[in-house]
Amino acid sequence: MDPKRAVGRFAADLVEDGQAVGLGTGSTVFFALERLAERIDQENLRVTCVPTSKDTEQKARRQSIPLASLQAEPEPAICIDGADEVGPGKALIKGGGGALTREKIVAASSQELIVIVSENKMVDMLGKSFLLPVECLPFAEPLVQARLQELGLTPFLRTKESGEVSVTDNGMYIFDCRCNGIEDPEQLERQINMIPGVVENGLFVGLAGRILIGKADGSVEVRD
């Protein structure tokens, strides 16, 4: 079985009847969503999901999964989400799909963030290969770019294939930053978020609970 499919379905089987569940964004989460829909149909599982993006919301609606806002379900029991990199101390880089701000809000609101990844996402240091996303107000683009450079990062404004600037669900821009390795994720997360005009960045430090790792043979490793 594909590692993403295996770990996504494994995570969905952890959901208990009556729970509110935060649903992240991305291809691995889609397999969890698919399995949740099966359980709702086969087991009459009662669950309410809080989506972190318009994309996840649309996919959940197509599967007839009950949805709620964070206002209606302010403290989900768990949040199931993927990651672009998982480093030491369960620090994460997220936001390749552009939903980092809502993902961080739902993760922080939830009792536990369950991270689902394939084993190639496990790294010894964050930011050596994957670019760090930073979401900012369009008005603040020049300032944010300059301040990111002052922090030693190399920011690239995210664009579509057409060359147009990519805009998030929140109406914001994203800088993808080359870091050449992040020695202190907690400090960098704080430094970036202090830049005027920055909405959020893709470093998730101190939020992850269990890490579920999908293996090539279809098995899943659980790291508490």
Average pLDDT, the chain: 98
- For residue 83, CA distances in Å to 90, 98, 118, 181 come to 11, 12, 9, 17
Six token digits for residue 37: 């829909």
What is the pTM for the complete model shown? 0.96
Name which of 24, 208, 212, 35 is nearest 121 in CA terms.
212
Percent of the chain exceeding pLDDT 70 equals 100
| CB-based burial label for 42 (10 Å; 0-12, 13-18, 19+) | exposed
Task: Give the model confidence (pLDDT) of 64-84 as tens digits.
Answer: 999 999 999 999 999 999 999
Task: Give the model confidence (pLDDT) of 4-29 as tens digits.
Answer: 999 999 999 999 999 999 999 999 99
Asked if 56 and 31 count as a contact pair (C-beta separation under 8 A), the reply is: no
pLDDT band at 31 (very low <50, low <70, confident <90, very high): very high
Whether pLDDT at 1 is above 90? no
Asked if 220 and 6 count as a contact pair (C-beta separation under 8 A), the reply is: yes
pLDDT value of position 99: 98
Residue reference for tokens 């914001």: 172
Whether pLDDT at 62 is above 90? yes
Q: Among this protein's residues, is 103 annotated catalytic? A: yes
pLDDT value of position 124: 98
Task: Give the model confidence (pLDDT) of 85-135 as tens digits.
Answer: 999 999 999 999 999 999 999 999 999 999 999 999 999 999 999 999 999
Per-residue pLDDT averaged across 132-142, rounded?
Answer: 99
Residue of 103, 135, 189, 200 marked active site? 103
For each of the domains in the chain, give its residue range(s) and CATH number, in order of start.
3-122+205-216 (3.40.50.1360), 132-199 (3.30.70.260)
Residue reference for tokens 């704080």: 190
Map residue 86 onto helix, strand or coil.
Answer: strand
Total Cβ atoms within 10 A of residue 162: 7
Whether pLDDT at 35 is above 90? yes
What amino acid is encoded at 182 in this protein? I
